[in-house]
Every structure is written in structure tokens, then in C-alpha cells.
Amino acid sequence: MKILIVDDEPPARDRLKRLIEELDDCECAGEAANGAEAIALAGKLAPDVVLMDIRMPGMDGVEAARHLSRLDEPPAVIFVTAYDEYALRAFDTQAVGYLLKPVRKEKLADTLQKAARLTKPQLAVLAREAAPKRRRTHLSVRMRGELRLIPIEEVLFFLADQKYVTVRHLGGEELIEESLRALEEEFAPDFVRIHRNALVAARHIASIDRSGEGQYAVRLRGLGDELPVSRRLATDVLRRFRG
Amino acid sequence: MNSAPNDSASTPPPAFYLPDFCATPTVLAVVLISELVAIVLTLARQELAHGFWIDLARTSLFLLWIGLTSATALCYTRPYLARLGVAVASAISLALPVAVTLLISEVTYWFGKTWFDGLEPGVASLFPADHANFLLRNLVIAFIVNALALRYFFVAHEWRRNVEMKARLRIDALQARIRPHFLFNSMNTIAALTRSNPGQAEEAVEDLADLFRASLQETRGRIPLKEELEVARIYQRIEQLRLGNRLKVSWQTDALPMRTLVPSLLVQPLLENAIYHGIEPLPEGGTVVVSGEQKDDVIELRVSNPVHANAQGTPHLGNRIALDNIRERLELAYPGRARVDVSSSATEYVVTLTFPLVEPAADALA
């Protein structure tokens, strides 16, 4: 069984690694210090199980598990936490394993075996349901079996097509399979709906200009073209950005 | 005393002090008060030998009617009164039983006049003869007794609230001092070090013991600043094992008078907050600055930490509890002469404690 250890604290990683090495049929495939690193490594190493700390800098364990569940072959995620009563309350109702620090060797062996019995699609569903719906810090895009992360603060705008949503960010353009409405709910008030099909990052707005008779357009920092503001939403948008 | 839902809030609004007059204990209290007043009135009115029991019986009957009718009236108006201001509600609670007294006195007078007028003196004397005098006397007595009863209910309520508040403060203090997250993470670090570096594990256990000893000595009062800073350094050593070079603490405290006495656990909770909310969310870590200076007779202590660029939401609850707790303890130690200031910018979060310098000798005399 290939196991990926994710924890921001070196002593915690060392201990888990030692415990795993003492178990039969288990090997530590790699170590990551935060959620983003875990996702990058999971794509390369294809581990069977990820031992995931919850409280980590950058991207926390709960969000990382959410992104991992979207892989074609998602690993089983076992949360490891010192004390995080809110998160644990969410997992209690689920069959997803979690371990409490300091982790006992027998508990670890039990939980790993339980995880090994679950099929991958089951795991994906469990991981998705277990993660409380908190605001994400990154979006994940699937690329050739791996996940690419886009930090939310680098997103300029979302543009909805008939079927897909295009994410325009500082590093380029990507297609994602999420609805504009769900994105708007998750990332309000940092993103503003300016048109039926456009959601714009407030922090990247450079100006709002009059583009014609009662028509307005939003110009973004470092971006040549303008995005039209729909007549229906113009008053809301203007009120928010012009006071 | 009051409805349960209010109690769970962190700072419950001052609940209405009148008890529920429909509840058995309160009805009993009303009966008891009525009887006591009846005995006092009867005793005061005449000599013991002359018809004492008959006088007591009729006074009791009269006062019980007033007492229980007033209780019923207050029972039904209480939900409405609780929504008013304390002053208005008190005035109404005072006026209501007085009005009831007036009404029952009037009824009693007319009842006696209509049914028993002209009968033999023995029976007629049970009822009042002088209308105006009877009403006025009852009015004054009702007012005084009722005012005393209200005062009693008010004081009892305040006392109970005070006890509850003190208990809550104590729990808050404990929560502010021992963060479970820290305890279990430290245990985990020690478990990891036990094999890889037994020497370090041993030191960590010693540090943890010292830290908890300092935390649990609640009644220790004031300690020299030097000791207080030492406790904070012990805390830093434990966190250092866990966070490695992500955590840097810059101590700029050399200018402080180390012998001055301060309430214990002032600096450590601030350092803990700075690490938990400032350093841990940063992948690259950062530097916490503990600095202090003395300006005349005033000491300023500052703890600052970098702020995570994407910090979301409001200040954390645990942080607020710790700050409130420090503020309360400083206020207890130096009433009106200490301050806790918080300033935060996009990049930095700073807590500043300001309190007067206390020399050890001066404190010993005080």
C-alpha cells in the first residue's frame, strides 16, 4: 500500500513515517507540507492512501481532500488531527476514517485496512461528502490525470458559455465544470456578478466606464479588453464600487 | 432564574429580575410574606390577650387575597414587563399590587357595609367602618411592603447573576490558558522525538511541565516580569520543536525593568495567539516580535505578528477570549490604569499592553 503523508510539522511527519514503516505491506511514498504540495505529489505518485493533517498553512487538509476526490483514481483520504472539534463533528457521521494525534500504531493499522477495503468510487463520494462546504482557496483543473491548482486571488473573472465556465486567471485560461451560480455563492463578496454570464474579481477591477447610452463596462487591471455590465445589474455594481 | 436560552449567550442581556409568579416556590414566598405582614400588623394593633387569633385570621384572609391576586396579576403581565426597561417595569410591578390592594380594600368595605351593616357589633367589627382612613392606611402599607419585596427580589437576582458571571469568567480563563490544540500537538511532537531525539523529548516534557505549572497556579497573583517572560520563552521552545525554522521570535525586552511585578500569564497567551493566528497559517512562517519599553512609571509591552494575506473572516473567538481575559486581569490588578490596545493592518497585527510600573517593595507594602 502506497501512502502519502501530508503535515506541515516535520516531527509529525517523521513519526507517521516511522509507524508506517513498521507496518506490513505499507510504504511511505512521499511527504508533503501542505494541501497544494499534496495535490501535486498525489498526481505524480498515485498513492493508495493519503494521511492528511487538517490544519495546515496555505491550503488546509479538508480542501485538499475535496480536490483529490476529483482525480480519476482518487486515493483514500484519512484525516489526522490534533484537535479540531468542528471538523471532526463533520466526519463523525461519515465512514471516512480519521485519526487523532498522537496516532496509535494499532489504530493506524486498523484504519488503513478499512480504507483498503473501500473501492475508489466509494472513496471519492465519501471524501466529497465529508468535506464541509467551506470556501476554497484554490480551484482545481484536471489535466492529463493530474490536478492543476489556480489560487483564487489570481482569478480575474469567470465567463459562462453554454456548457462550460471559462476561468481567466493571471496564468492563462482554463475550462471548469462548475456553475456560475455556485461559484458566485461560494466566493461572494470578493466576486461580483456584472452580467448574466460573467463573474468578476472585485480586487482586479481597475475601473468602471460608461461605454454608451446607459451602458457600462468593467476594465480589469492588466487586461486590455472590457467586460460589459448588463443593464439590470448596472445599478448594483455602480453602487458598490462608486459608493 | 430566567429562561434558559439567554444563558448560553456569551454575554446574556440583564434578565428581568422578578421571578415567575406562577411557579410554586414563588407562590409559597408570597403566602409567607402575606402571613408575616399579617402577624406584624396584628401584633402592632392590639394587646395579645384581646381577640388576637380572630384578628390574625381576618387580617390573614384579607392579605392572602391581596397577595395571591397580585401574584396572579404579575404572573400574567411578566412576559410583557420583561420586554420593558428595568425602571418602567419596576414602577409597574410596584403599582400593580398597590392597585390590587386598593381594589380589594374597596370590595371588602362595601361587602361589609352591604351585608353586615346593622348587625350586632361582634360581627360588624370584623369589617372596617371608616372608609377613607381604611383605604389610605392599606395603600401606604401595601406600598412599603411591596417596595421591600421588590428590593429583595432584585438583590437576590443580582447576587445570582454575579455568581454565574464569576463562574463563567473562571471557565473562560481556563479555556484561554490551555488550548487543546497546543496540548495534543505537543504530545504528538514528544511522541515523535522520543525515538529520534530522546534528549530533546526529555527537555520538551520538562518545558511542558513548567508551562502547565505556571498555567494552573491561578491564584499566584503577581510575579516578577523576568519570570513572566521566562514562561513565554518556555512556550516558544515547545512550539519551536514543532514549527522548526518557520517560527522566529525576536525578543526586544532588554530595556524593561525585570523586577517589576505583573499579573502572571500576560505575555504567554499573546505569544500563543501570535503563533496560532499569525505564524501557523503562513507556509514560509514569519517573525513574532515581543518588545517593551518603560516610559516614566508606565510599561508598554507589545506582541506583533505578520498577517496572512488571505486571512478570512472576523478575529478568531479563541483570540478574543484570551484578550478579554488579559484585559479583565489587568483591570483587576490596576483599576483604571491599564489598557489593552489592538491594531491591525493588512500586514501586521499588534497587541499593546500598557500598565503602571510596580516596584516589588511598594507592592509588598500595599
Alpha carbons A63 and B312: distance in angstroms, whole number: 15
Please list the residues that pair with A174 across neighbouring strands.
A167
Amino acid code (one letter) for B85: G
pLDDT computed for residue A88 by the predictor:
62
C-alpha cell at B316: 478568531
Q: Are residues A7 and A112 in the same domain?
A: yes
Size of interface A-B (CB pairs under 8 A): 66
Backbone angles phi, psi at A163, to 5 degrees: -110, -35
C-alpha cell at B140: 401606604
- As for the ipTM of the complex, it is 0.72
Last residue of a domain, one of A95, A130, A165: A130
User: For residue A102, which residues of chain B lie inside 8 Å, CB to CB?
Assistant: 184, 187-188, 190-192
Alpha carbons B229 and B265: distance in angstroms, whole number: 9
pLDDT computed for residue B24 by the predictor:
87
Q: Are residues A105 and A31 in the same domain?
A: yes
B72 vs B50, more confident: B72
Average pLDDT over residues B120-132: 63
Count of positions (residues) in chain B: 366
Q: Does the pLDDT at position B364 exceed 80?
A: no
Closest alpha carbon within chain B to A105: B191
CATH number at residue A208: 2.40.50.1020
Q: Which residues contact B201 (CB under 8 A, 6 or more apart)?
A: B190, B193, B194
pLDDT computed for residue A71 by the predictor:
81
The per-residue pLDDT for range B57-98, each reduced to its tens digit, is 888 998 999 999 999 998 888 888 888 888 888 888 889 989
Interface of A with B in 87-126 (CB under 8 A): 100-103
Of B189, B281, B312, the CB nearest to A11: B189
Domains annotated for chain B, with CATH where assigned, are 5-176 (no CATH), 178-365 (3.30.565.10)
Most confident listed range (B207-216, B230-239, B311-320, B335-344) = B230-239
pLDDT computed for residue A237 by the predictor:
85
CB contact under 8 A, B282 and A84: no
Q: Are residues A33 and A81 in the same domain?
A: yes
pLDDT band at A67 (very low <50, low <70, confident <90, very high): confident
Average pLDDT over residues B320-343: 84
Count of positions (residues) in chain A: 243
- Nearest chain A Cα distance for residue B226, angstroms: 30
- According to DSSP, residue B283 is labeled T
pLDDT band at A124 (very low <50, low <70, confident <90, very high): low
pLDDT band at B47 (very low <50, low <70, confident <90, very high): low
Q: Does the pLDDT at position A178 exceed 90?
A: no
Helix (H, G, I), strand (E, B) or coil at B316: coil
Q: Are residues A151 and A196 in the same domain?
A: yes
Q: Does the pLDDT at position B313 exceed 60?
A: no
Evaluate whether A52 touches A5 at the Cβ level (below 8 Å): no
Q: Are residues A147 and A235 in the same domain?
A: yes
Q: Does the pLDDT at position B19 exceed 60?
A: yes
The per-residue pLDDT for range A73-101, each reduced to its tens digit, is 788 888 898 876 666 655 544 446 788 88
% helix, strand, coil for chain B, step of 5: 65, 15, 25
Amino acid code (one letter) for A201: A
Last residue of a domain, one of A130, A146, A167: A130
C-alpha cell at B102: 386598593
C-alpha cell at A238: 455602480
For strands A146-151 and A138-143, give the pairing.
antiparallel
Q: Find, among A23, A214, A41, A32, the residue nearest to A112 by Cα.
A: A23
Q: Give residue A119's domain range.
A: 2-130
Evaluate whether B83 touches B42 at the Cβ level (below 8 Å): no
Most confident listed range (A23-32, B163-172, B330-339) = A23-32
Alpha carbons B249 and B251: distance in angstroms, whole number: 6
Average pLDDT over residues A179-198: 90
Alpha carbons B195 and B248: distance in angstroms, whole number: 26
pTM score over 0.90 = no
- Nearest chain B Cα distance for residue A10, angstroms: 7
Closest alpha carbon within chain A to B190: A11
- Nearest chain B Cα distance for residue A114, angstroms: 23
Last residue of a domain, one of A113, A130, A147: A130
User: For residue B280, which residues of chain A lie inside 8 Å, CB to CB?
Assistant: 8, 55, 57
pLDDT computed for residue A142 by the predictor:
85
Count of structural domains, chain A: 2
CATH number at residue A56: 3.40.50.2300
Selected for mutation to probe chain B from A54, A98, A101 (highest B CB count within 10 Å) is A101
Helix (H, G, I), strand (E, B) or coil at B310: coil
Q: Does the pLDDT at position B12 exceed 50?
A: no
Average pLDDT over residues B138-157: 89
Average pLDDT over residues B249-257: 94
- Nearest chain A Cα distance for residue B285, angstroms: 9
Average pLDDT over residues A9-25: 93
Q: CB distance from A132 to chain B under 8 Å?
A: no
- Nearest chain B Cα distance for residue A190, angstroms: 11
User: For residue B189, which residues of chain A lie inside 8 Å, CB to CB?
Assistant: 9, 11-12
pLDDT computed for residue B8 by the predictor:
36
Please list the residues that pair with B355 across neighbouring strands.
B299
User: For residue B310, which residues of chain A lie inside 8 Å, CB to CB?
Assistant: 137, 153
Selected for mutation to probe chain B from A5, A7, A8 (highest B CB count within 10 Å) is A8
Alpha carbons B319 and B346: distance in angstroms, whole number: 18
Average pLDDT over residues A176-193: 88
User: For residue A58, which residues of chain B lie inside 8 Å, CB to CB?
Assistant: 283
Q: CB distance from A82 to chain B under 8 Å?
A: yes
Q: Does the pLDDT at position B53 exceed 80?
A: yes
Q: Which residues contact B76 (CB under 8 A, 6 or more apart)?
A: none
User: For residue B190, which residues of chain A lie inside 8 Å, CB to CB?
Assistant: 102
Selected for mutation to probe chain A from B179, B187, B188, B237 (highest A CB count within 10 Å) is B188
Cα dist from A90 to A76, A133, A187, whole Å: 17, 10, 22
Q: Does the pLDDT at position B214 exceed 70?
A: yes
Q: CB distance from A137 to chain B under 8 Å?
A: yes
B170 vs B268, more confident: B268
- Helix ranges (H only) for chain A are 10-22, 35-45, 61-68, 85-92, 105-117, 120-130, 180-187, 231-242
pLDDT computed for residue A150 by the predictor:
92
Evaluate whether A33 touches A65 at the Cβ level (below 8 Å): no
Closest alpha carbon within chain A to B313: A135
pLDDT computed for residue A94 by the predictor:
46
C-alpha cell at B84: 420593558
Alpha carbons A200 and A193: distance in angstroms, whole number: 6
Selected for mutation to probe chain A from B175, B189, B275 (highest A CB count within 10 Å) is B189
CB contact under 8 A, A14 and B192: yes
pLDDT computed for residue B355 by the predictor:
94
Residues of B with CB under 8 A from a CB of A: 180-181, 183-185, 187-193, 195-196, 241-244, 280-283, 308-310, 312
Across A82-95, b (16+ Cβ under 10 Å) vs e yields: bbbeebeebbeeee
Q: Tell me whether residue B198 is exposed, middle or buried, using C-beta atoms within 10 angstroms of its C-beta: 0 to 12, 13 to 18, 19 or more.
A: exposed
Q: Where are the beta strands (DSSP E) in chain B?
A: 222-224, 247-252, 261-263, 286-295, 298-306, 339-344, 348-356
CB contact under 8 A, A84 and B280: no
Q: Are residues A146 and A238 in the same domain?
A: yes
Q: Are residues A106 and A26 in the same domain?
A: yes
Q: Are residues A115 and A17 in the same domain?
A: yes
Most confident listed range (A12-21, A53-62, B110-119, B179-188) = A12-21
pLDDT band at B13 (very low <50, low <70, confident <90, very high): very low
Alpha carbons A108 and B186: distance in angstroms, whole number: 19
A158 vs A58, more confident: A158
pLDDT computed for residue B4 by the predictor:
37
pLDDT band at B6 (very low <50, low <70, confident <90, very high): very low
Q: Find, among A212, A243, A204, the residue nearest to A228 by Cα.
A: A212
pLDDT band at B365 (very low <50, low <70, confident <90, very high): very low
Q: Are residues A15 and A96 in the same domain?
A: yes
Q: Are residues A126 and A144 in the same domain?
A: no
Closest alpha carbon within chain B to A83: B181
CB contact under 8 A, B280 and A34: no
User: For residue A10, which residues of chain B lie inside 8 Å, CB to CB?
Assistant: 244
Q: Are residues A154 and A96 in the same domain?
A: no
Q: Are residues A187 and A92 in the same domain?
A: no
Q: Does the pLDDT at position A239 exceed 90?
A: no
Of A18, A102, A135, the CB nearest to B187: A102
CB contact under 8 A, B192 and A12: yes
